[in-house]
Amino acid sequence: MTNRLAETLSPYLRAHAENPVDWRPWGAEAFEEAARRGVPVMISIGYSTCHWCHVMARESFSDETTAAQINDGFVAVKVDREEHPEVDAAFMASASAFTQNLGWPLTVFTTPQGGTFYAGTYWPDEARGGTPAFRDVLTAVREAWTERHDEVLASADAVAEALRAAARQPESRLPDSGALRSAAESITGREDHEFGGFGGAPKFPMATALRFLQHPVADGADAVERALDAMAGSELLDPIDGGFFRYATQRNWTVPHYERMLTDNAQLMQVALDAGRADIVEGIAVFLLNVLRRDGGAFGAAQDSESWIDGKRNEGGYYRRDAAGRAELEPPAVDGKVLTGWNGLAIGALARAGAVLGVPEWIEAAEAAATHVLSVNRAEDGSLVRSSLDGVAADAVATQADLGLLADGLLALGVASGDATWATRGLEVLAMSPGQDPVLTAQGIVRGADDGDGDLPSGPAAAASAHLTAWLLGAGEDHRSHAEQLTAGVAGRALAHPIAYGSILRVAAGLSVPPRQVVAVVSSREGGLADAALEADADVIAVVTPAQAKEFADAGFELFAGRDVSDGVVYDCRDFVCLLPAAEPREFARAR
């Protein structure tokens, strides 16, 4: 049996195309069919490199008896969370009313109108350890729907109202440096002084929190360096391909959950670069360029945790072998979806690292990825979409996070390459309006307060960061105003729960103190003056030729105005006011 998923552009959905479950992709049709039949909707959310998603697919969704039970009592919808992050966020928020063990696979039961009345994560095929069998859950949900229908509807309404209340944002203001240091201390107070990192098992890298701690206002760089040392010396880092795995199931960073995500590695590349760990940066670059890079130059979403070994699916077995042992095996599959925002993270990381470490090939790789995303991830009307696969654009809309992350990456690429065209394209992307999922809107499904970080910066944080970068480059005070508005709207929750809001707190830190901007104008990037500039502790570091400085200025980036009149000098600017240009490395201060 081939269901409706076979023709989709999601590798995760395609993997379920031969299930006996009568799956439908995310869309209005599923809710219409549920209303016609008078049955609930069962929404299953996951992603292609999720181990427990694979397990549940094998145990339950491939089972004829379980599938018949689903088909008889529900309309079944399969969602790729990476393709539809707004859908995932909305139902993750509603699922929190029923379980605190949130994750994927996520199974949500809703009314035909989209109201959640029950949810959970992985359910096994047989009851074990106090967890009911999935078939028993289906039976209980169906009984509740038919025998206690009014209670079910009341429960869905209560969940929706709770989400609306949570989404109402109280008046807030930008936090000052003292409040931000207190937030950083709240995070570092959770440091594991024995094994490094933060919290216990399972232990995640928490890249967004690490990036906040590295800001001078946060003053948490030492804790970040300890975390990096611990992770780099543990099983979390693949010693052959150089990429970090998703997380460790044990507090001491052992027994990794083996999928390797573009999001984690792009962000950890930036963390390692700011920490001066070129070895980690180089290892991650190897993983991005040799494993995740797709035809056309953009990057796939992730590499699977499972592979085929001796005719069976094996979780992590490939990664536990040495280089010679791996050569005998087919490597785990890569999810080839080219996600707009995730590629923005990779573009920015490779561009910055290539400039600082003097590896032009990385900047060229970032340019290739940017070219692919800007040309392929487009709808017919020219707007950006969320993703593409094998050169074909999907129809999921680009989110606020997609646009912010891509814009920030393009601005970084412009600075790293010296090509103002990339920075201009970054501003164009930043000016675009994010799309709204039409099904969520049509069904009136409450999204909740989706402004905390997950495995990457939230939408408000991504947009605020890009506006902050644009302002730092002299693109106009309106960009600072946008960054302030976005940050202030989230600041209250961010200060109350800082470990979940590292990205927006990093922006707040950037807004709380006068910036330092360094512009080296040199005909050649080779030489002591350029090296001195690249070693500076500054919010912006640009190394450009006089002609490139003029191109940036002509494009509206005031930081570069008038910088083309001299060659072989470094401008050290504090809050856009520059000291006399330095012509010798010794005349230029590396520290703030």
| C-alpha count within 13 angstroms, C-beta hemisphere, residue 340 | 34
Among candidate residues 163, 53, 162, the one with its CA nearest the CA of residue 103: 53
pLDDT means over runs of 10, the chain (592 residues)? 85 95 96 97 95 94 96 97 94 89 92 94 90 94 95 92 77 90 97 95 95 97 97 96 95 95 98 97 98 97 95 94 94 97 98 97 98 97 96 94 98 98 98 92 82 90 98 98 95 94 97 96 87 92 96 97 90 90 86 82
End-to-end C-alpha distance for the chain, whole angstroms: 65
Sorted by sequence, the CB contacts under 8 Å of residue 96 that are 6+ apart come out as 102
- pLDDT at position 178 is 96
- pLDDT at position 436 is 87
- pLDDT at position 592 is 83
Q: Distance (Å, rounded) from C-alpha 273 to C-alpha 201?
A: 27
Q: Distance (Å, rounded) from C-alpha 430 to C-alpha 479?
A: 10
CA 327 to the chain's CA centroid: 31
Q: Distance (Å, rounded) from C-alpha 27 to C-alpha 39?
A: 16
CA 264 to the chain's CA centroid: 7
Among candidate residues 96, 86, 217, the one with its CA nearest the CA of residue 498: 217
Degrees (nearest 5) of the Cα angle 187, 189, 193?
115
Residue pair 110/41 in contact by the 8 Å Cβ criterion: yes
Amino acid present at 592: R
Beta strands in 310-371 (DSSP E): 312-315, 334-335, 338-339
Q: Distance (Å, rounded) from C-alpha 202 to C-alpha 247?
A: 7
- Write down the residue that tokens 């693109």 correspond to: 475
Starting at the earlier edge strand, list the strands of the sheet with 387-389: 338-339, 387-389, 392-393
Record the tokens describing residue 521, joined without a space: 């104008």
Q: Distance (Å, rounded) from C-alpha 342 to C-alpha 263?
A: 6
Residue pair 274/537 in contact by the 8 Å Cβ criterion: no
Among candidate residues 242, 281, 233, the one with its CA nearest the CA of residue 260: 242
Sorted by sequence, the CB contacts under 8 Å of residue 59 that are 6+ apart come out as 124, 125, 134
Burial of 91 (0-12, 13-18, 19+ CB in 10 A): buried
Pairing of strands 75-80, 116-120: unpaired
- pLDDT at position 163 is 84
Record the tokens describing residue 472, joined without a space: 């730092």
| C-alpha count within 13 angstroms, C-beta hemisphere, residue 459 | 14
Q: Distance (Å, rounded) from C-alpha 232 to C-alpha 13?
A: 34
According to DSSP, residue 582 is labeled B
Q: Distance (Å, rounded) from C-alpha 10 to C-alpha 50?
A: 14
- pLDDT at position 326 is 95
Angle between helices 477-496 and 502-512 (to 10 degrees): 130
Q: Distance (Å, rounded) from C-alpha 351 to C-alpha 288?
A: 13
According to DSSP, residue 320 is labeled T
Degrees (nearest 5) of the Cα angle 414, 417, 423?
10
Beta strands in 292-352 (DSSP E): 302-303, 306-309, 312-315, 334-335, 338-339
CA of 555: how far to CAs of 66, 348, 444, 580, in Å? 60, 20, 42, 24
3-state DSSP helix/strand/coil % of the chain, to nearest 5 = 50, 15, 35
CA of 580: how far to CAs of 39, 212, 546, in Å? 73, 31, 17
Cis peptide before 170 (omega within 30 of 0): no
- pLDDT at position 171 is 63
Record the tokens describing residue 400, joined without a space: 């606020």
Q: What is the DSSP string of 441-472?
A: HHHT-------S-SSS--HHHHHHHHHHHHHH
- pLDDT at position 91 is 93
Degrees (nearest 5) of the Cα angle 396, 270, 524?
110
| DSSP reduced 3-state for 207 | helix
Residue pair 572/579 in contact by the 8 Å Cβ criterion: yes
- pLDDT at position 170 is 65
Residues in the chain: 592
